[in-house]
Structure 1
Amino acid sequence: MKIGELARQAGVTTKAVRYYESLGLITPERLANGYRDYGGADVRLVREIRALHQLGIPVERTRPFLECLAAGSLHADDCPASLATYREAIDELTGRIEALSARRATLIAQLQIAAHRGSGVVPRKAGGAAGSDYLTLPVDLPVPEDDGAAAHLPGTPMPPLALPDTAGKTVRLDALGPRRTVIYIYPLTGRPGTDLPEGWNSIPGARGCTPEACGFRDHFQDLLEAGAGRVYGLSSQDTGYQNEVVERLGLPFDMLSDPALGLADTLGLPTFEADGARLFRRLTLVVRGGVIEHAFYPVFPPDEHAQQVLTWLRENPL
């Protein structure tokens, strides 16, 4: 076959084919008139190069895989040299991820310094004594009781309420789509250098918003793999406050802001008073097709709640 046909069957450009040939990765037959003649084996080689390149392996380093096929192996990665190339690519990718993570941490630190400059609040280092205040839960936290305040929620349609998120968009709660959306609702997130409401630890279910957020952060990929299409945190704190939390904790999902507690009023969600402010009680909704499929209430302990949601998703697959 001609080079154009090979490129079409393999899903690459003719320029790419010529490049592979210049590297000696494919060697077509030559007809009597000097034209190149490619066969089915060349199509497989080019497809293999393309697939490996999409995984991040440079074209020049696909040779061990092609040689493995040429040796008669059923798969291009049946040979030790192919496995070694995989490991090298993984090591290089790990190094790049670590470098990017370090750069990200530096940027977050610079953001914290800039955000607090002139505010009188000294930003703390993540993991430091002040940074861990909200990550460690007291052992004697009061356990919230199930007062039945969320029993009516399963099967209830979500209201046509539009809330701002930390990505700068507006989210309609009745239009979240057919996939499951996990919305964990919490009273407020503490911030290093600021005080929590008086008596916060003595209010059942109040303390633990930061550990809960970290749990959803750490289990985020697991939740998606278990069937969650999206994850949101939701509180009455404003978007600016929530953006600081997203940056400081490195949350991979967005937060929804409902300062007027419109969701509580339309759905009859449980709330409580602290320091003269009305706040959401901690609960989590699993929404599918605009309807609440499941409600977790009360939530305790908050630092283990993401695992509880993950377990439910796995035990109740779609």
Structure 2
Amino acid sequence: MRISEIARRAGVTTKTVRYYESLGLIAPARLANGYRDYSEHDARMVREARELNRLGIPVERTRPFLACLADGRDHADDCPSSLAGYREAIDDLTLRIEELTARRSVLAQHLHEAAHRNSRAGRAGAEEDTVSHLTDLPADLPVPEDDGAAAHLPGRPVPDVELPDTTGGTVALGALGEGRSIVYCYPLTGRPDTDLPEGWNTIPGARGCTSEACGFRDHHDDLHAAGAAHVFGLSSQDTTYQQEVVDRLRLPFPMLSDPGFQLAATLGVPTFEAAGATLYRRITLVIRDGGIEHVFYPVFPPNTHAQQVLEWLRDNPAHPPRAS
């Protein structure tokens, strides 16, 4: 057969066939007119070399396998030399994996150090710069509209839901005890070494989770003084991810993890889709005596939301019931 035909049957280019021939892996016969005449055996040898090369075995190291076929074996790896070729290739890959893993670890460490260099956890004295960086939001962020998705929540009893928190324990939302508790739900917090989902700034109510957390951090003592017994952040991110944020931002309150969207299922807390993931919409619940006393929805702008909650607490003091 002609070179174009063997290339078609083997699934390679004619250039690859010529390369294999130059290495001596195949040796086509010559016709009287000088043209090469490739056989079915040559086509099989080319296919075998191609498949082994796709597995990471260099073309030069396919010789033992092709020699096995040339000896009349049914399979290219029926010979001891072929098994040795497999072992050699595996050893090479193992070494490369170890080297790449080590390089990856070093690069990840460099990324972490560079991304956190100016964070509070990174160096002392950078607090002012860090706060500005975290709370300054783009001026053209789209404003979320009230779509009525939270209208049913005020007055609803809080379900018996237990969620893990960043202190290593769990929090039962239906048994928070006396006083008011603030639970602000947010989509996700970004990290300095991780890109936000594509188009994040164009989604109404998405951007600003870190600045919102900083606001609740900075107003934490004032919120307690105004009657908030507890403050919690809540998202669908896992606790390990949330812990990094708590440590980096030095949050004085725990984050709650709800990856199973229990609040969405039991209360109908609104969610949205972004980059193929389901996330909570930004919403804040004021919980009192096992029920939802007040709801902030939609929340905008997020960087001043904690102040908004504080003002509401001050304007609506929770008086203890009178003795009968």
Change (3 A) 1:249 1:130: closer
Aligned length: 203
Matched, 1:122 2:112: yes
Structure 1 runs, 4 residues or longer, greater than 4 Å off: 127-134
Other-structure match for 1:111 = none
CA distances 1:149-202 after superposition (whole Å, capped 9, x unpaired): 111101001111110000111111110112100001000000001100010000
Other-structure match for 1:165 = 165
Other-structure match for 1:209 = 209
Aligned equivalents of 1:117 and 1:242: distance in 2?
A: 24
TM-score by length of 1: 0.61
Aligned equivalents of 1:280 and 1:140: distance in 2?
A: 22
SS of the aligned residue for 1:223 comes to: helix
Aligned equivalents of 2:219 and 2:193: distance in 1?
A: 27
Other-structure match for 2:123 = none
Matched, 1:302 2:302: yes
CA distances 1:36-79 after superposition (whole Å, capped 9, x unpaired): xxxxxxxxxxxxxxxxxxxxxxxxxxxxxxxxxxxxxxxxxxxx
CA contact (8 A) 1:133 1:192 kept: no
Aligned equivalents of 1:133 and 1:310: distance in 2?
A: 23
Other-structure match for 2:266 = 266
Aligned equivalents of 2:133 and 2:221: distance in 1?
A: 26
The one-letter code matched in structure 1 to 2:147 is D
Aligned-pair CA distance for 1:136: 2.2
Change (3 A) 1:244 1:297: same
SS of the aligned residue for 2:205 comes to: coil
Instruction: Kindly name which structure, 1 or 2, has the bigger radius of gyration based on alpha carbons.
Output: 2
Change (3 A) 1:267 1:222: same
Aligned equivalents of 1:117 and 1:281: distance in 2?
A: 36
SS of the aligned residue for 1:174 comes to: helix
Aligned equivalents of 1:220 and 1:274: distance in 2?
A: 30
SS of the aligned residue for 1:119 comes to: helix
SS of the aligned residue for 1:244 comes to: helix
The one-letter code matched in structure 2 to 1:182 is I
Other-structure match for 1:285 = 285
SS of the aligned residue for 2:194 comes to: coil
Change (3 A) 1:118 1:240: farther
Other-structure match for 1:198 = 198
Other-structure match for 2:135 = 135
Aligned-pair CA distance for 1:134: 4.4
The one-letter code matched in structure 2 to 1:303 is N
Change (3 A) 1:178 1:131: closer
Runs of 5+ consecutive residues of structure 2 not aligned to the other structure: 1-104, 120-125, 319-324
CA contact (8 A) 1:130 1:192 kept: no
- Please give the root-mean-square deviation of Cα atoms over the aligned residues, in Å: 1.8
TM-score by length of 2: 0.60
Alignment of 1:1-318 (within 5 A): 119-120=108-109, 121-123=111-113, 124=116, 125-126=118-119, 127=126, 134-318=134-318
CA distances 1:228-275 after superposition (whole Å, capped 9, x unpaired): 000000000100011110010010001100011111111111111011
Aligned equivalents of 2:149 and 2:241: distance in 1?
A: 28
SS of the aligned residue for 1:234 comes to: strand
Deviates more, 1:123-132 or 1:163-172: 123-132
CA contact (8 A) 1:130 1:193 kept: no
Other-structure match for 1:94 = none
Aligned-pair CA distance for 1:131: 8.7
SS of the aligned residue for 1:248 comes to: helix
CA distances 1:128-147 after superposition (whole Å, capped 9, x unpaired): 98996543210000000001
Other-structure match for 2:47 = none
SS of the aligned residue for 2:210 comes to: helix
SS of the aligned residue for 1:214 comes to: helix
Change (3 A) 1:131 1:122: farther
% identical equivalent positions: 66
Change (3 A) 1:117 1:209: farther
Aligned equivalents of 1:150 and 1:307: distance in 2?
A: 21
The one-letter code matched in structure 2 to 1:157 is P
Change (3 A) 1:252 1:202: same
